[in-house]
A and B are shown apart, each in its own frame.
Chain A
Amino acid sequence: MRFHLIDRIDEFEPGKHLRGRKLVSGSEEFWDDVPGGPAMPAPLVLEALCQAGTWLIMLSTDRRKRAALLQVGNVRFSGDVRPGDVLVLDGVVESMSDEMAVLSGSATVDGTPVMQATDIMCALIDADDLEDPEDSERMLRVLTRS
């Protein structure tokens, strides 16, 4: 699968918070078979929030840094995410230095929380070690429709 689990950035404030969306579709390939039908695997719901977090770090560091996951203090999954759902991702920076950031956040569907995570600790690493900056910039334009 293409590991890109956020489709839009709807609003953000550098160093503070970001709200984004991931569209969930039956045309994706990752389903769990649970009561009530296929559901998005819980770890991918967490990843969608982490990717919202990494874009927030990019937008907060003038594109220089990305977040690499070091620790998740707590994550709780409280509802199923189904084909056709729109996952709304809210990421919040709890603290941030040049080298580390601590984030928290939630994912909701139609206003109902499906996941909450706290104490997500990330190392901030040079973004161009991971991906061509031009590709990141192109992706950011798609995410923000700018």
Chain B
Amino acid sequence: MIHATVPSTTTTGQLISLDRILVVEPGRRAEAVCNVPGTLAIFDSHFPRFPVLPGVIILGSLAKLAALLLHESTQQEWRLAEAQSVRFRRFVQPGDVMELLVELTEHDVGQAVCKASASVDGKRVTTIGRLLLVNDLAGAT
């Protein structure tokens, strides 16, 4: 296990930290862990009577892990361009440990496709059928 070393110019936002990078197999897959502590300011407003991690933050964390995986093999910056079949299956709440998995399915010079999921206690909380990332150098958006 290594501690998170996110590229300093990460291009998918620092919405929630990837706290531990567990596995990076360049060109194939990556796994990471996000702790979801009750101290996050986001829970004050989302929601006052029912704290729950916003689904888009989970989407952002998976896109960030995908960008990190692609950075590992290309040394280039990647960013989220499209997502399909994003399903939020269970609420993620303060105290949960989120396990993230991203698997690369297609990859060329300018764009890459992954599928991704987040789990808590072995149960999938979010699944993404298709996550499209583009390479900034390719100028594609």
A and B held together in a complex: yes
Interface positions of A (Cβ within 8 A of B): 1-4, 30-35, 41-44, 46-47, 50, 69-80, 128-132, 135
- B49 in contact with A72 (CB, 8 Å): no
Q: At the interface, is chain B mostly helix, strand, loop or mixed?
A: mixed
Please name all residues of chain A whose beta carbon is closer than 8 Å to the beta carbon of B49 when the two chains form the complex: 128-132
Closest chain A residue, CB of each to CB of B13: A41
| Pairs A–B under 8 Å by Cβ, sample size 24 | A1-B41, A1-B42, A2-B41, A2-B45, A3-B45, A4-B45, A31-B13, A41-B60, A42-B63, A42-B80, A43-B57, A46-B59, A47-B54, A50-B56, A72-B83, A75-B83, A75-B86, A76-B81, A77-B80, A77-B82, A80-B141, A132-B48, A132-B49, A135-B48
* C-alpha gap A46/B55 in the complex (Å): 10
- A43 in contact with B63 (CB, 8 Å): yes
* C-alpha gap A43/B15 in the complex (Å): 9
Of the listed residues B11, B13, B57, B60, the one surrounded by the most CB atoms of chain A closer than 10 A to its CB is: B13
Q: At the interface, is chain A mostly helix, strand, loop or mixed?
A: mixed
Please name all residues of chain A whose beta carbon is closer than 8 Å to the beta carbon of B42 when the two chains form the complex: 1, 3
- B82 in contact with A76 (CB, 8 Å): yes
- The smallest beta-carbon distance between B127 and chain A, in angstroms, is 10
* C-alpha gap A128/B42 in the complex (Å): 19
- The smallest beta-carbon distance between A9 and chain B, in angstroms, is 18
Q: How many residues of B contact A (CB 8 A)?
A: 36
Report the tally of A-B residue pairs with Cβ distances under 8 A: 97
**Is B106 in contact with chain A by the CB < 8 A criterion?**
no
- A42 in contact with B79 (CB, 8 Å): yes
**Is B136 in contact with chain A by the CB < 8 A criterion?**
yes
Please, what's the 1-or-0 string for B56-76, where 1 marks a CB less than 8 Å from any CB in chain A? 110110010000000000000
- A70 in contact with B50 (CB, 8 Å): no
- B56 in contact with A79 (CB, 8 Å): no
Closest chain B residue, CB of each to CB of A4: B45
- The smallest beta-carbon distance between B119 and chain A, in angstroms, is 18
* C-alpha gap A135/B54 in the complex (Å): 20
- A32 in contact with B57 (CB, 8 Å): no
Please name all residues of chain A whose beta carbon is closer than 8 Å to the beta carbon of B123 when the two chains form the complex: none
